[in-house]
Structure 1
Amino acid sequence: MPTSTLDTPLFLFGLTTGVALAAASQFFINSLTRSQSQRSLAATAAAALLAQQQLEEPEDLVAGALKHGNPSTHLTPSGRDAALSGSLPALRRQSWSVPSFVAADGTLPRLEMEFTVSSKKLQTMVRHMVNEMRKGLESDGHMLKMIPSYVVARPAGDETGSYLALDLGGSNFRVCMVELRGQGQTAIRQSKHMVSDELKTGSGEALFDFFATCIADFLKSIGIDPKEKRALGFTFSFPVEQNAIDHGTLMQWNKGFACSGVLGVDVVNLLNKAMKKAGMNITATALVNDTVGTLVSHAYRDPQTFVGVILGTGTNAAYVERIADIPKWTGDRKNITDMVVNTEWGAYDEQSILPITSYDQALDRASNNPRKQILEKMISGMYLGEIVRYILVDLVSTGELCRGIFTPKLQTPYAFDTAYMSRIERDHSLELSDTKAVLENMLDVHNTTVQDRRIVKHVCELVGIRAARLSAAAVAAIITKMKRLDACTVAIDGSVYEHYPHFANRMRDALRELLGIMAENIVLEQARDGSGQGAALIAALHAK
């Protein structure tokens, strides 16, 4: 049938419109199919994660996602914390995202595997650490030194008076005048002084002369004559073998110290000689480890405090042990039921249990004390940033970061401070602008992409989460050894615990994995300035 002139354009218009509509419909259907497929892949990955029995390491959730689901599927930052802590209920509530850098073949997937510490690994660490604690309590020469502190009494909370205290914790030296007001109340005046690298690696005499000068200047500033007779408590946060409350010889330096003429020498005697040389009539009557001081200080306010922990520049812990369970202590046991023990847990170094990476090994080899204080080098503030720096250098060298371009600062040891990690982990801006500022201003790394900055933040998270989980395992070992799963307060001092974002919550998550419902009986509390106040309290208890 012939077609009219008018029908021809109408036919062409209809044909064109139909094709367009068909194409649009097909595009919509394909997009919907792809979206459903992606959701299906993500769901498959999540299901694989939740089906823990399918994984070789049941709690290695990130590895599980890479193994059983979409290789590019990864957790959001909050979801990743849940996965790494093994918190399945929390994991089920998290959404999934697909950052491209995780799918890359190379270093990053390996980092996920190396730095993710499973619950199974933590449980093994707890059991082994408890056994090492028992060995250290039986005799000297073991991995954990388990040093008797000679502190056999905890405060009742009603002690009063003013006491002088010194606190050498690492990079800072504090002189404190602590007023005990009873009912667990204290007031403190103090001066803080930086210990320079020159002092840390110079002579012991110069170091203790510096302490004496700081003491004299502080007393003058608060109107006290340095020649006035007075006793003090000395918090000395290094491994010391004590044979009395006011005597102790340095066993080894850590935290970057390497002063000559101090190893094997009574540090109380060195301090007393320096103060006498400076014309002061002051005597150190109590030598205190910072963890012991933290425990005693917090017990002044909370009688349920049986553990003191430092998570700062360095790390250590002390706890209250039954005197009957310290076979190596040869002192008079009459009328003594308990004693505070300094574990020196930073020296824990079981190679087959700790998740030691090539980066940890490189850091250890370059440190002032190679093959020592391995746990400390994995969880303390002095070293966390350096671990991150080693990783970033590796990623730049493989071209996975910053287009493979190095800067002198990035290659400088300890140029990446742990404080930078805290700042980066707090950066939740879309463009990670604060992370960009850290890289540009602190490391001279310019022109980074958003993907570069995501990688840097992810590396910080991996290192920070591992540190928190290992710290929690060490706490769980002490709680288990004490058999105080019913009720115990753990007083924790130090910049890492106080300032590093999410560190406390990550520790609590790991404790729940390790101790189950009994973890609700374990209270982790911030203990600020505990070591200085503790030294004053111990001096008071000793005088009493």
Structure 2
Amino acid sequence: MNAKVSAFLSKHNFVQHIDIDTFSQALLSDMRKGINGEKSDEDMIRTWTNPPEAKVKNQKVIVIDAGGTNFRSCLVTFDANGVPSISNLEKTSMPGIEKELSFKEFFDKFAENLEHLKNQADSIGFCFSYPTEIQKDGDGILLGFSKEVKAPEVVGKPIGKSLADALVEHGWNRPKRVSLLNDTVAALLAGAASGAQGIEYSSYIGFILGTGMNAAYIQPAIPGSKDFGSSQIVVCESGKFCSVIQSDFDKEVDSKTTKPGTFFMEKGCSGAYLGPLSYSALTMASKEGLLSPKVAEKILALDKLTLIEASAYLEHPYDTNYVLAKILAECGTEEDYDFIFQTLDAIVERSARYSATILAACVIQSGAGTIPTKPVCILCNGSTYHKTYKIYERVKGYLEELLTRQKGLYWDIIAVENDITLGAAIGGLIER
């Protein structure tokens, strides 16, 4: 990194090269406080369940995936061999994104979105990717919305029961069960069901880095614990971890969110915020005279900068189909190209370090992965993880260094087609 970029980032308190080992220990400390019932940033939500031991066969289940920008719903059918098929898939926008909704409006909108699946199965696997306290019967109490969803009357309410009530009002038979699970749990269950031939995993982790960010792992039994007398999947709500250093860019973006002063980890590395963070950094640099005058003028004239645009510049800095490359092609200098590249690269690189920190903490807390032939299976999902410039490669490199070389822990990152849908379907059929 050149001195000019380094000085700019330092001036604004942006710490790029986070020590992943030290940071993971801080994260582990917070996780363990939550597990022990002490005050912690992360919720450490109990799910009262584990991956099923046998394959799901000869069953149908309605699947809902609501937790980011989109609302997806479909029917999943498992045949006699446990092979799943997906049908009646529809996608629309997530209720509460565009405007604030009341409790009734929120669930009425859900029922409208599900009309094409009316009474096609008596069980629903509901991937609801917001902080939710899972109940022993599989329902969940919403603790609070993230990702800029606006439906405050829903907070504190049972999501499964409320949805079932709304469906009955819309002419449905009452579902036998509505099982709530986080997208990280769905990812974990999909990883556990993948059954890679010739591999035996010692534990499973689900990780999401998309619009938001979160992780789930299997907490081993804790002798003498009322809640953890046996192992179970735990949702960390990692995005709520706040013991992170906020730069001026982070603070500016945070101040404009629906819930400022919360979700510092998520706001530092997930897809909903990396674009605004990039925009904040480049506009500050423009105002401080660190870019040539014409480039600065054009950047300041932009209303926003998306993650897609920022990542595209890093991938293809001379592709003028994207806004930054177009600006630079018109009036930029080589110094401008370099400054913008290194600034944006620092932002996505920090996201990779945060992600690796979370995964490292989950592997360590699982107590698994100590035998090379029985690694921990990590299923990673999310467009930010898979599509943003070098995040995927960097996460794997950081885990290799910290977990395998330094700590002798073994892991394997996998991908499964339609993972969230498959995991949610399995979750919807688990007997409680």
Give TM-score scaled by structure 1 length.
0.71
- 1:159–1:180: 8 Å Cα contact kept in structure 2? yes
Alignment partners' CA distance in 2, 1:440 and 1:196: 35
- Structure 2 equivalent of residue 434 of structure 1: 319
- Larger Rg, first or second structure (1 or 2): 1
Per-residue deviation, 1:137: 0.9
- 2:60–2:75: 8 Å Cα contact kept in structure 1? yes
Unaligned regions of 5+ residues in structure 2, if any? none
Per-residue deviation, 1:493: 0.9
| 1:468 alignment partner AA | A
What SS does structure 2 have at the residue aligned with 1:286?
A: strand
Deviations 1:443-473 (A, max 9, x none): 9996344432332222221111110011101
- Structure 2 equivalent of residue 453 of structure 1: 337
Per-residue deviation, 1:180: 2.3
What SS does structure 2 have at the residue aligned with 1:177?
A: strand
- Structure 1 equivalent of residue 351 of structure 2: 467
Pick which of 390-399 and 238-247 moved more. 238-247
Per-residue deviation, 1:309: 0.7
Deviations 1:127-167 (A, max 9, x none): 12112111111116421211111223435335342211111
Per-residue deviation, 1:440: 7.3
Indicate which of 414, 421, 428 corresponds to 1:525. 414
Pick which of 513-522 and 455-464 moved more. 513-522
The answer to whether the aligner puts 1:116 opposite 2:16 as a matched pair is yes
The answer to whether the aligner puts 1:261 opposite 2:153 as a matched pair is yes
Alignment partners' CA distance in 1, 2:180 and 2:270: 23
Pick which of 246-255 and 374-383 moved more. 246-255
Per-residue deviation, 1:103: 4.5
- Structure 1 equivalent of residue 394 of structure 2: 506
Alignment partners' CA distance in 1, 2:417 and 2:323: 28
Give TM-score scaled by structure 2 length.
0.88
Indicate which of 84, 97, 100 corresponds to 1:186. 84
What SS does structure 1 have at the residue aligned with 2:331?
A: coil
- Structure 2 equivalent of residue 489 of structure 1: 377
- Structure 2 equivalent of residue 417 of structure 1: 306
| 2:309 alignment partner AA | Y
Unaligned regions of 5+ residues in structure 1, if any? 1-61, 63-101, 220-225
- Structure 2 equivalent of residue 278 of structure 1: 170
Closer, same or farther: CA 164–436 of 1 in aligned 2, 3 Å:
closer
- Structure 2 equivalent of residue 250 of structure 1: 142
- 2:274–2:347: 8 Å Cα contact kept in structure 1? yes
- Give the share of equivalent positions with the same residue, in percent: 24
| 1:470 alignment partner AA | Y
- Structure 1 equivalent of residue 233 of structure 2: 340
- Structure 2 equivalent of residue 299 of structure 1: 192
- 2:95–2:110: 8 Å Cα contact kept in structure 1? no
Per-residue deviation, 1:478: 1.0
Closer, same or farther: CA 542–355 of 1 in aligned 2, 3 Å:
same
- 2:13–2:248: 8 Å Cα contact kept in structure 1? no
| 2:184 alignment partner AA | T
- Structure 1 equivalent of residue 429 of structure 2: 540
Closer, same or farther: CA 516–152 of 1 in aligned 2, 3 Å:
closer
| 1:306 alignment partner AA | Y
- Structure 1 equivalent of residue 55 of structure 2: 157
Per-residue deviation, 1:421: 2.2
Per-residue deviation, 1:365: 1.9
Closer, same or farther: CA 536–437 of 1 in aligned 2, 3 Å:
closer
User: When you count helix as a share of all residues, which structure comes out higher?
Assistant: 1
Closer, same or farther: CA 496–483 of 1 in aligned 2, 3 Å:
same
